[in-house]
Amino acid sequence: MAADKDYMEHYRAQVQARLWSDPHTRPRQRELEQLADQIEQRSGIRLSLSTLKRLWRDDVTQVPHPSTLNALVSVLGHTSWADFKQATVLTPELQTTSIPPTKPVRRIASAWWWAAAASAALVTLLVLLQATNRTASPRPLVLPADIPFQADKTVTVGVPNTVQFRYDVSHITADSFFIQQSWDPRDKEAIDPASHYRSSVYYLPGFHRAKLIVNDSIVRKVRIHIKTNGWLPVADYADNSREPFYLDKITEPGTGDLHITEAQLAAAGVDISKRFQLRYYNIRDFEHITSDSFTLQARLRLDSLQNIPCPRAQVTIVTEEDIFYLQLTTPGCVGKLYLGMGETRQGAENHDLSALGCNLYDWQTVQVHNKEKQVTISLNHQPVHTVSYKKDFGKIVGIVFNFISPGAIDDVILKNGQGDVIYETAF
């Protein structure tokens, strides 16, 4: 039977092939930092750079903690390390095997032997030269004071939305140039340094931070606010295997809540036997409110699906610099919960988040009250958890509810620090 170490080798190869398009070259620090960002976005866990570096050493002897393994495979679309192992078929060459000792043979001095020895010496010399080239100091990157980089949307509001990037890197000497649409390294596209134009299609709303990358250095950033016209329900598969399903045309107005049912998902072509996400987006300019003092309150509930043992709902507040989020699940599954407020990240493996367990199949009222970066989370009007943070994250630019089953939201209210209602809907 294959050991976890064998699966770790396969995991590294998959990540390098999918995220960096090279399953053989050891990743650079910038790429590992991008991987850490993506793992945090997918799982809510922030893995340290030293942890990821240890995993990419050739002499890995100790398999990480189960919670770390679960976070790692989230970038490959798996819910857990066990799920990843079950979906992985290891070929014999990927499994750890012991090499039996070879029997000594009598060396015969002949012309063939000398030819083989000469060939081996030549190969060794070439390997040494190649290693010397790899370890040589890289050429320093010289950047001009001004690097033009801008982005223009073709549609003011809505998705899909084509963004036209204009740039000028013609005076920069480097090996590679890229534009990355968002935080996700898989959205990175190579660009022609002799050109000045590149377009990309954004399929999901949000407050994106596109990056202009030279070699492995981010040299410029630009903000792209892809807004919605009110609430936009979207479904997509966890493995990002195809374009998302836009569900705004199948919602029924005047029902008292915003609810996408199992039947509506099936009618829209969503295969609910696969792992999918249902998200309700409201991305816009919320005037007269900042992320350091606000109150968000809403009601939510999920529909029961037999193939989901641990239902989960996530409330996300999108800011100019990052996202705030909290997760709810049933009491028996609270060990999988994560939350992030400002730069503070907490996971249930080392924080008590059991108070965020509830019956998600009944209506639950959740509230996030932030007063000068001191956050109180309440469930059904009872405070259950507190978090504090220090950094400034700018304005609130979006609200997202994320479910892994059909579900509904209602009575969404957003207030500023003075208690003034900035946004309210009762559907």
Predicted pLDDT of residue 95: 47
Predicted pLDDT of residue 130: 58
d(CA 335, CA 353): 8
Q: pLDDT band at residue 375, thresholds of 50, 70 and 90?
A: very high
DSSP H or E stretch at residue 39: helix 29-43
Query: Taking the model in full, what pTM does it have?
Result: 0.70
Q: pLDDT band at residue 206, thresholds of 50, 70 and 90?
A: very high
Architecture per CATH, 232-425: Sandwich (2.60)
In contact, 251 and 260? CB cutoff 8 Å: yes
Output the CA torsion 403→406→412→416 (10° steps). Answer: 10
Q: Is 162 helix (H, G, I), strand (E, B) or coil?
A: strand
Enter the tokens of residue 379: 């469930």
Q: Is 123 helix (H, G, I), strand (E, B) or coil?
A: helix
Enter the tokens of residue 176: 């590679």
CATH, domain 149-226, list 1.10.760, 3.30.450, 2.60.40, 3.40.50: 2.60.40
Distance of alpha carbon 270 from the chain centroid: 22
Question: In 247-344, where does DSSP find H-type helix?
Answer: 262-267
Task: Parse the chain into domains and list their residue ranges.
Answer: 4-94, 149-226, 232-425
Beta strand pairing status for 396-403 and 421-425?
Answer: unpaired
Q: pLDDT band at residue 338, thresholds of 50, 70 and 90?
A: very high
Enter the tokens of residue 384: 């259950």
- Residue for token pair 């000469």: 118
d(CA 54, CA 52): 5
Cα diameter, the chain: 93
Cα–Cα distance list, 61 to 8, 58, 80, 220, 364 (Å): 11, 9, 21, 39, 45
- Span 149-189, pLDDT tens digits: 999 999 999 999 999 999 999 999 998 999 999 887 778 89
The answer, yes or no, to whether residue 139 has pLDDT greater than 70, is: no
Q: What is the identity of the amino acid at 292?
A: D
The answer, yes or no, to whether residue 105 has pLDDT greater than 50, is: no
In contact, 296 and 399? CB cutoff 8 Å: yes
Same fold, 149-226 and 232-425: no
- Considering only CA atoms, which of 211, 165, 206 is closest in space to residue 188? 211
The answer, yes or no, to whether residue 371 has pLDDT greater than 80, is: yes
d(CA 244, CA 37): 22
Find the distance separating the first CA and the last CA of the chain, reported in whole Å: 55
In contact, 376 and 384? CB cutoff 8 Å: no
If you average pLDDT over residues 394-407, what whole number do you get? 95
If you average pLDDT over residues 12-39, what whole number do you get? 77
Q: Which residues on neighbouring strands pair with residue 416, listed in sequence order?
A: 294
Distance of alpha carbon 169 from the chain centroid: 28
Q: DSSP character for 48?
A: -
Predicted pLDDT of residue 111: 46
- Residue for token pair 């790429």: 31
Q: What is the identity of the amino acid at 255?
A: T
- Considering only CA atoms, which of 80, 13, 72 is closest in space to residue 38? 72
